[in-house]
Structure 1
Amino acid sequence: MNQKQSISYVISSQSSSQQRSYRTRLTAVLDCTRLLLMQGLSFRSHDESEESLNRGNLIKVLNWYAARCKEIKEVLFSNASGNDQMTSPTIQKDLINCCAVETTRAIINEIGDSLFSILVDEARDNSMKEQMTVVLRFVDKSGRVKERFLGISHVTDTCAQSLKDAIDAMFSTHGLSISSLRGQSYDGASNMSGEFNELKALILRENPHAMYVHCFAHQLQLAIVSVARRNCMVGNFWDVLVIIVSLVGASCKRNLRENGWDTLFSRVIEFCVDRHILVPNMEDIVVVKGRPRRVAQQVTYFHRFYVDLYCHVIDSILQELNDRFPETTTELFTCISCLSPRDSFAAFDKDKLLRFAQFYPLDFNSEELLLLRPQLDKFLLLVRMDEAFFNLNSISCVAQKLIETRSSCYFSLVYRLLTLALILPVATASIERVFSAMNLIKSDLRNKMGDIWLNDNLVVYVEKAVFKQIENEVILQHFQIMRPRRIQLSKFTVTE
């Protein structure tokens, strides 16, 4: 049946010209707000009077905008009524909150009903407040792994129960459920990863399938520290390495080119002698008249020494890492490695993949486990014969290719297995990036920011790729219904 659609306006008590001016003015302010948010810039100045030379970034950008657009100039500042300037702090905060809410809503819609993992950490901001950051890891509808910043929350203390309450409140606000968690990753602090009453344990009591993974980056750091403390030679290796990096980084190109190597090796040898560090073949590279004998000879000796020491360091670190990883985590990642597509799925092991599925009884019941075995056989046959699956280098690429070739429906259980493998977090790098952004947003000059203001600025700044996809009209309509406004924003309604 043919449908005729026409656009009609919902006209309020104000005239249409007032509404058009209001929409134009509000849109201009929103455009400038989007620019400042995505650049992580401040909005206000301590003096925004007309006599001030620095009225704040928002007003300055609006002036620049108006000077280049006649339509905007006609509705801004002196051409608008005094109580309808749309530049007050309240209006700014409302607009920014709308931007943040719509960005988070887009992220929640992107997750949908998918399973996800959680990454959590806390750090102090520039006002010495303890802030807890939450990032979600999930697989989108195209098979790509995404890590999205959900929000930041001020916690009065960092005990496990306070963190758990803050997570519950954040999940409740955004309509998320702990039951959908299939992984959790932290930095290994005692309040996070303790076995009994810490955050990991509290979540596992509520959802035993939220597998805990200690961040690999923090694990590696702890392993290196432990190895260095136990082995003085390894500790000396890092000391020498630090001074080498410092010397090279502090030298200009000319000095390095002309006498940089001589200076470098002289300093290294002096460093070793002063600290009684044993270096093999020291007698062959002793300093003569304040300068090493021959650079080429020194390179050979130092290379031989540090290659041997490097191998020793790596062996020690690997042993330390093996001792640090729990048996369950080791088994999980051993099973996951069987999904690697490298060398035509050479690591594929059906029994280990079945074992991996058994870790998630909520996602694979007994009947599905029986069906998974023959489906894995057919999947292996497909990926080794279909050219579309050749030369893939990651598990994520396999998931994406299954979606592209529309094979995910046929191999639904295998795709579910891939999803569970992909959402398991291995590092909290995304959290650290949020903290870096937090120090940029809440700087020393902006250390009086409130918690909501900080969260709204951070959400948009960190997830600017999501924010760019949100249309102005969505934000404007949200802004209009937040509280009663003097002028109503005209709405477009579709009638049949």
Structure 2
Amino acid sequence: MSDDSDPKRLSKKAKTLDSWLKKIREDQNNSAPLTSSEHQHVPSPILEPRESVPSAPASNTDSSHSTIIDEHHPVISPISEPREFVPSVDPTPRDSIPTPPCSNIDSALLNEQPPVTSQTHEDIDFVIGDLERDPGKRVQIYEYPVNQQDHVRRSYIKLGPYQPKLFEYPRVRYELTNKVEILKNRLRLKTTIESVRYLAYQGCAFRGHDESVDSRNRGNCVELIKHTAKFSPEVAKVVLENAPKNATYISPRIQKQVLNILANKVRKHIRDEVGDSSFCILVDEAQDSSHKEQMAIILRFVDTEGFLRERFFDIVTVEDTTAGTLHQEISKVLLHHNLQVERMRGQEYDGASNMRGQWNGLQALFMKDCSYAYYVHCFAHQLQLTLVSASKKIDPIWEFFSSLSTIVNVICASPKRLSEFHVAQVTHICDLIDKYDATCTVLEFIMDDKSTESLSAGASGAYNAKSQDILNAMNLVEVTVHSLQNLREHGWEDFLEKVESFCKQHDIDIPAMDCQYSASRRRRYCQQRSITTEHHYRVDVFYAAIDFQLVELNGRFSERAKELLILSSSLDPADGFKAFNIDNICTLADKFYPQDFTRQELHSLRSELIIYESDVPHDDVLKTVTTLSELCREIFETTRSQRYQMIDRLIRLVLTLPVSTATIERAFSAMKRIKTILRNKMENDFLADNMIVHIEKELAENYDADSIIKDFASMQDRRVQFE
């Protein structure tokens, strides 16, 4: 057995180590702690192997000297390995084991562990539950003692995010406002609103070339505010130079916002008028002063009170006038205002190919979306095209109007010639009449004859009356056709007498009607025919002009449109409901409006018509009604609309059918007044807002300045307070 495994030797070694550690603890308790400058490296005597421990020299001196180790030599541990590898210890007496001077050794250095100090809740001056959660009220972390900051930070992290729950969150104000300031702010903005409203009504410009304080003309809006301030000291105290510099409310951006609020209110009013009822669209396009294509959209509908309305709704700039582009832009406008295409029951445009095309035209595209949106060609355009077409096909009439147009252009091109024309005598004009004596006389008679007044009245009524219904327009066309037919068959003798009277009054030579007619360029042709002068003017001019007009009037309507109009005429209240026919009315509802009437409602319609026939024509108020639009209003006012619900619905659908694009023509006239050459850079949205307020001013009058101020304040955070 080796020395390392000897139990006696190991036991002796353990006793030596215990006594050495006990002595170190006693010296530590009896000595003071070392300062930072007195710290020395004191190696543990148990970290080095025994072989490196120097033994005391053998001498005959006193044994006490053998146990003293020089303090400058490091103390080497007699044991450096673990217990299982403890080396042999030399048999030196226990009292002679060298001991290091360990009076200044720190226990922390000996154990090689830093001192551990624990901190309890008693050492902290706060409780986690008492921490202020509001970030605006709590104490900042850096204000706590240094030894508490980390603990406070960890406590807030443990508590998590926090947001105060308030009933009303305070808004940041740039100035202290009170009731007096609020009244001043409202008065200042109200002055701007009324100025913008007035300029929009009149179609005037808003801005000026130079709006600086030193300018003599700061623009219409600012100058109108200055004019208002002259007659109101209260306004003068709060506007322009007396207003806060950051809230004068006269900038172009503010003007556009005010106008946009008013325009949106008008659009919302129109949308509310339409409601869930059916409507019709009237569309046309024209170029503005900046050569942009503008498309105007008009809505035609019957409101809840039975009034027929045609409202200007919007104007849109289009890149081109193809049917696809127009269909896309119109659909966007309708969708934006929640107007469903399925509720459309009519569409009216001019006779251009991109509009009326049967396969790829605009009306065909909307018919694909809604098969009951019937297309009606503008009656005013049809009457105009009828006259133009008839005048072009009759040579004498065409020559007269061509020469007349040339003469007008020559005269109007020069102020001098125009002035001479105004002061000219009748004898000077007779040269023109003498050259085209017969043609001029025919046209003058057509203008003065009462039998043809219905044609002019029809065109004039179609252009000027917004409430013109399609039955009334068709009646005017029928009256015109009958009048022209009667004039052709029985009016030549009376017409010739008036011509001779006119020529004698103005000293115009009257050709002999019984003589053979001859013309310089058609002499050979006329000689071959051997016709008289009376025959030429009666057949070649008079009859031909009337025949062409009749052909054009009869050929301007499709078969489907004619059938729709014929069936609709059964509702016409003219002449004491003379055209009333129950079967035609039921066929109209069943064939042309199947989506608006179910089978059960069609049976109810026939039952109502039976009672309606014996009630309405004998009523003292309703029997005097002459138009369908008047009948619709009277039915509502007499509360018969509740009794005859199906009949009232059908009348409203027929009234929705358009007649003319007169409202669009008025809209384009307003566009020319608003967007002039000097204002040709106007933005599209600003133009649309201007036009709807200018055209529908009777609706804009319903909204006062207070309602506009409320919407203006809610648009965004303002620098001043209005409420």
Name the TM-score, length of structure 1 as normaliser.
0.86
What residue identity is the alignment partner of 1:268? I
Aligned to 1:287: none
C-alpha spacing 1:200/1:263, structure 2 compared with 1 (3 Å) = same
Q: How does 1:10-25 map to 2 (within 5 A)?
A: 13=173, 14-16=176-178, 17-25=180-188
Aligned to 1:144: 307
Aligned to 2:431: 266
Q: How does 1:175-214 map to 2 (within 5 A)?
A: 175-214=338-377
Structure 2 residue matching 1:431: 3-state secondary structure = helix
What residue identity is the alignment partner of 2:505? V
- Is 1:337 equivalent to 2:560 in the alignment? no
Aligned to 1:356: 588
Structure 2 residue matching 1:132: 3-state secondary structure = strand
Q: Which has the higher contact order (CA 8 A, sep 6+)?
A: 1
Alpha-carbon distance in structure 2 between the residues aligned to 1:316 and 1:446: 45
CA contact (8 A) 1:244 1:264 kept: no
Q: How does 1:248-287 map to 2 (within 5 A)?
A: 259-260=425-426, 262-271=427-436
CA contact (8 A) 1:243 1:268 kept: no
Between 215-224 and 101-110, the greater mean CA deviation after superposition? 215-224
CA contact (8 A) 1:65 1:72 kept: yes
What residue identity is the alignment partner of 2:272? N
Corresponding residue to 2:612 among 362, 379, 385: 379
- Is 1:347 equivalent to 2:579 in the alignment? yes
Q: Deviation per CA, 1:100-135, whole angstroms, max 9, x where unpaired?
A: 111111111111111100001111110011111100
Alpha-carbon distance in structure 1 between the residues aligned to 2:579 and 2:439: 51
Q: How does 1:443-458 map to 2 (within 5 A)?
A: 443-458=676-691
Aligned to 2:272: 109
Alpha-carbon distance in structure 1 between the residues aligned to 2:557 and 2:504: 46
CA contact (8 A) 1:137 1:147 kept: yes
CA contact (8 A) 2:394 2:545 kept: no
CA contact (8 A) 1:244 1:268 kept: no
Count of residues paired in the alignment: 466
Corresponding residue to 2:668 among 427, 430, 435: 435
- Is 1:367 equivalent to 2:595 in the alignment? no
CA contact (8 A) 2:187 2:235 kept: yes
- Is 1:462 equivalent to 2:695 in the alignment? yes
Q: CA deviation at 1:37?
A: 0.7
CA contact (8 A) 2:301 2:310 kept: yes
Q: Deviation per CA, 1:20-57, whole angstroms, max 9, x where unpaired?
A: 21111001110111111111111110111122221111
CA contact (8 A) 2:397 2:439 kept: no
Alpha-carbon distance in structure 1 between the residues aligned to 2:439 and 2:397: 17
Corresponding residue to 1:325 among 557, 562, 568: 557
Q: Deviation per CA, 1:266-306, whole angstroms, max 9, x where unpaired?
A: 3211356999x9x99xxx9xxxxxxx9842675999xx999
**RMSD of aligned C-alpha atoms?**
3.4
Counting aligned pairs with the same residue, the percent is 37
What residue identity is the alignment partner of 1:15? T
Q: CA deviation at 1:355?
A: 2.1
Structure 2: 5+ residue stretches without partners:
1-169, 413-417, 445-491, 512-533
CA contact (8 A) 2:394 2:544 kept: no
Corresponding residue to 1:36 among 186, 199, 202: 199
Alpha-carbon distance in structure 2 between the residues aligned to 1:374 and 1:391: 24
CA contact (8 A) 1:139 1:423 kept: yes
Alpha-carbon distance in structure 2 between the residues aligned to 1:156 and 1:247: 36
Q: Deviation per CA, 1:333-380, whole angstroms, max 9, x where unpaired?
A: 122222222210112222222222120101112222222223122222
Q: Deviation per CA, 1:66-118, whole angstroms, max 9, x where unpaired?
A: 11112111111121111111000110111111111111111111111111000
Structure 2 residue matching 1:113: 3-state secondary structure = coil
Q: How does 1:118-197 map to 2 (within 5 A)?
A: 118-197=281-360
What residue identity is the alignment partner of 2:582? K
C-alpha spacing 1:314/1:349, structure 2 compared with 1 (3 Å) = farther
Structure 2 residue matching 1:408: 3-state secondary structure = helix
Alpha-carbon distance in structure 1 between the residues aligned to 2:405 and 2:610: 52
Alpha-carbon distance in structure 2 between the residues aligned to 1:220 and 1:81: 60
Alpha-carbon distance in structure 2 between the residues aligned to 1:61 and 1:307: 64
Corresponding residue to 1:68 among 202, 222, 231: 231
Alpha-carbon distance in structure 1 between the residues aligned to 2:566 and 2:406: 38
CA contact (8 A) 1:121 1:431 kept: yes
Structure 2 residue matching 1:353: 3-state secondary structure = helix
Alpha-carbon distance in structure 1 between the residues aligned to 2:691 and 2:701: 15
Alpha-carbon distance in structure 1 between the residues aligned to 2:235 and 2:692: 28
Structure 2 residue matching 1:469: 3-state secondary structure = coil
Alpha-carbon distance in structure 1 between the residues aligned to 2:419 and 2:504: 20
Alpha-carbon distance in structure 1 between the residues aligned to 2:537 and 2:704: 57
C-alpha spacing 1:252/1:312, structure 2 compared with 1 (3 Å) = farther
Structure 1 residue matching 2:296: 3-state secondary structure = strand
What residue identity is the alignment partner of 2:558? P
Alpha-carbon distance in structure 1 between the residues aligned to 2:409 and 2:554: 32
Aligned to 2:392: 229
Structure 1 residue matching 2:562: 3-state secondary structure = helix
Structure 1: 5+ residue stretches without partners:
1-9, 285-291, 491-496
CA contact (8 A) 2:311 2:696 kept: yes
Alpha-carbon distance in structure 2 between the residues aligned to 1:245 and 1:422: 41
Corresponding residue to 2:256 among 93, 98, 103: 93
Structure 2 residue matching 1:390: 3-state secondary structure = helix
CA contact (8 A) 1:103 1:459 kept: yes
Alpha-carbon distance in structure 2 between the residues aligned to 1:127 and 1:254: 35
Alpha-carbon distance in structure 1 between the residues aligned to 2:407 and 2:385: 23
What residue identity is the alignment partner of 1:177? Q
Larger Rg: 2
Between 57-66 and 227-236, the greater mean CA deviation after superposition? 227-236
Q: Deviation per CA, 1:198-226, whole angstroms, max 9, x where unpaired?
A: 21111111100101101111122223333
Between 317-326 and 100-109, the greater mean CA deviation after superposition? 317-326
Structure 1 residue matching 2:693: 3-state secondary structure = helix
What residue identity is the alignment partner of 1:447? N
C-alpha spacing 1:251/1:374, structure 2 compared with 1 (3 Å) = farther
C-alpha spacing 1:87/1:222, structure 2 compared with 1 (3 Å) = same
Q: CA deviation at 1:242?
A: 6.5
C-alpha spacing 1:50/1:395, structure 2 compared with 1 (3 Å) = same
What residue identity is the alignment partner of 1:340? D
Structure 2 residue matching 1:324: 3-state secondary structure = coil
What residue identity is the alignment partner of 1:67? K
Alpha-carbon distance in structure 1 between the residues aligned to 2:264 and 2:354: 30
Alpha-carbon distance in structure 2 between the residues aligned to 1:296 and 1:448: 54
Q: CA deviation at 1:310?
A: 6.1
Alpha-carbon distance in structure 1 between the residues aligned to 2:543 and 2:298: 36
